[in-house]
Chains A and B, each alone.
Chain A
């Protein structure tokens, strides 16, 4: 049995964006682990005539270019030149390149087609998968990260939420195996299926690996003073506004000299305009809030290693990768108790209600008041947290699709 991983959205994403998001990172790390595991694995993307095979070398080059440190603009690196070359090739319709068109995938009955990417960005994706299933007799396995656009449409553009729901319904109708990245997502999925009148079906939970530490060489963070770190796209779901409220409380109660800087590492996303305006109007809480956009993996590793602790106040998650990354770097984390987040860090993380800034401020103030306790906590994290290798994730996926 060959496991075919659909990497179509990874390729599409790389054509537009300069940095990998969580989903693309997962697809890449999972694929790499499957390749390293010497498993019977292949990669496909949908082209003009159905699913086509993609060489692993192409995918690796693509992701390396996405995740590398930014080279000087006048000295493009080999990886970024390679990415530009692939982008140029992908932009050419296959019908114009008959001699060089990609080989059709060799999917056969009994094989598994794993959909692990953000397929909802292509309105035809579920139908493509359904056609492949009918034509090749493959088993379709769907890895679900979350169904937040269905549960919390307020955080999404209506078109995006509608696309997601249609894709999800289409994929659930055609999928033979369901995998989820957390028990919380599995519960959400089961509830959604039940509400839609779909037959009950087991959902295999897969623990994601902790990818960043292995990949990144830390540079200097360059903050120049003690800081707390929040790694995430700046969007309303991630709840940056709570931390701004918390820092305002702390500054009023403890005074500016006793409060570390708060670093937001991530690019601005949807529905963040009012927050950015609020920060600008307060002069970033008089310099206590620092924004870092477009950090490379190396920058991110440096930020993790240099921080006193991390924060993760998200309102809803399918998993909570930054919590895992924080623990993998040995940094204590104060996190939201919402949805899947407690599954990530267990009792190594301290939790607060993401709707309650006073609760969070108390938790942070307790940490600031007890430097020795923070040190002991960091030592416990370093000693007790066992980063999950992607090989383990790959093995769980193989079990889940079997």
Chain B
């Protein structure tokens, strides 16, 4: 069946996350191939609506990057009566907006981006390409809409204990309702458990940006650890490993941890703050811009891809393109001792950088099109 329009459904994809970055480049690739594809999100009341890639992927400057953990601390510090009052205010505000709009209004729906919403409904021949647990999409099947799953980060399937209780419930509901209707699973990260559907593997491309010309860490010799901060990025183990290396390796470079804070990051971030970055040996860069991250890659001794199994290998690809060796933390996940040994071995005898897989996002978009059309 010819595909009329692809709805790349990024509901639940966090801005700045690996999935968001993948979506940004894939939708651009579709555009260059003149494929009718829109990036969208879903609201139970509004249905699918267009979601500007700018909102999904634009990052704030480092200095003003929002910190979920900081907000949580502020929230936790408020007296319960104040919190109850704020909750009540939000409820009333939503109810008022819902009354005005004639439907349920979510937090997304009251953002400026939602004002630009295109609530057109997918029709026969369209493909809804879901990137995550985006609510019950099964009703589209009745309209001749084909459902496909684009799996960029399998972590929620692999480590349910890193999800919040609400996320787990939502994922379960979505899985039960959606799985029977999904015709195609396209995965950049391996097959998730529990899916009967045949999985088509694709490889992502590098998303290395143009590095900013200024040195990001002047006068520092550093190793770059890039990836999510928290459980998925094994930051706790990295901290333990670096502490061990500080005791055993002379002339140890500094460590720059660059990434966005994800699940279960509060305690490890507190440890980094408490120790002033292990006495200045660790620098934390939260949510770096692509140019800043590229500059870090350019100037680092080597790179550590800090991600549990589940991601699509963005950091390793970027490191290869930048000509830097990349140590993957994945072979021994959650093992700080092995990680420390591997880092020490890299420092003693740096391996040559990997030969980059030179494919572009148009190729990735073509792969996705082929998988959808098969």
Contacts and interface: CB of A to CB of B under 8 A. Distances in A.
Contacts of B335: 355-358
Nearest to B268: A274
A152 B271 CA distance: 10
A161 interface: yes
Interface in A65-82: none
The dominant DSSP class at the B interface is: helix
B168 interface: yes
A344 interface: no
A91 B245 CA distance: 48
A90 interface: no
Contact of A278 (B231, B237, B278, B337): B231
Contacts of A355: 237, 240-241, 244, 335-337, 340
Contacts of B275: 152-154
Nearest to B334: A245
Contacts of A156: 274
Given A355-B336, A355-B337, A358-B335, A281 B267 contact: no
B231 A272 contact: no
Given A154-B274, A155-B274, A356 B266 contact: no
Interface residues of A, number: 28
B165 to A, nearest CB: 7
Contact of B274 (A153, A282, A353): A153
Nearest to A279: B161
Size class of the B contact interface (CB-based, 8 Å): 35 or more
B97 interface: no
Contacts of B215: none
B160 interface: yes
Interface in A305-336: 315
A282 B267 CA distance: 18
B274 A281 contact: no
A158 B274 contact: yes
B264 A277 contact: yes
Interface in A132-163: 152-158, 161
Given A154-B274, A154-B275, A281-B168, A271 B334 contact: no
Interface in B233-261: 236-237, 239-241, 243-244
Contacts, number: 72
B338 interface: yes
Contacts of B243: 152, 154
Contacts of B164: 281
B264 A278 contact: yes
Contacts of A272: 267
Contacts of B274: 153-158, 161
A294 interface: no
Interface string B332-346: 101111101000000
A206 interface: no
A151 to B, nearest CB: 10
B8 to A, nearest CB: 29
A113 to B, nearest CB: 32
A271 B239 CA distance: 14
A241 B264 CA distance: 12
Interface in B218-242: 231, 236-237, 239-241
Contacts of A158: 273-274
B270 interface: yes
Given A236-B267, A281-B162, 19 more contacts: A153-B275, A153-B276, A154-B239, A154-B243, A154-B271, A241-B236, A274-B231, A274-B264, A274-B268, A275-B267, A278-B161, A281-B160, A281-B161, A281-B164, A315-B240, A357-B334, A357-B335, A358-B332, A358-B335
7 contacts: A153-B274, A154-B271, A155-B271, A236-B267, A273-B266, A281-B164, A357-B335
Closest 9 CB pairs of A and B: A356-B337, A154-B275, A355-B337, A282-B161, A154-B271, A355-B336, A274-B267, A281-B161, A274-B264
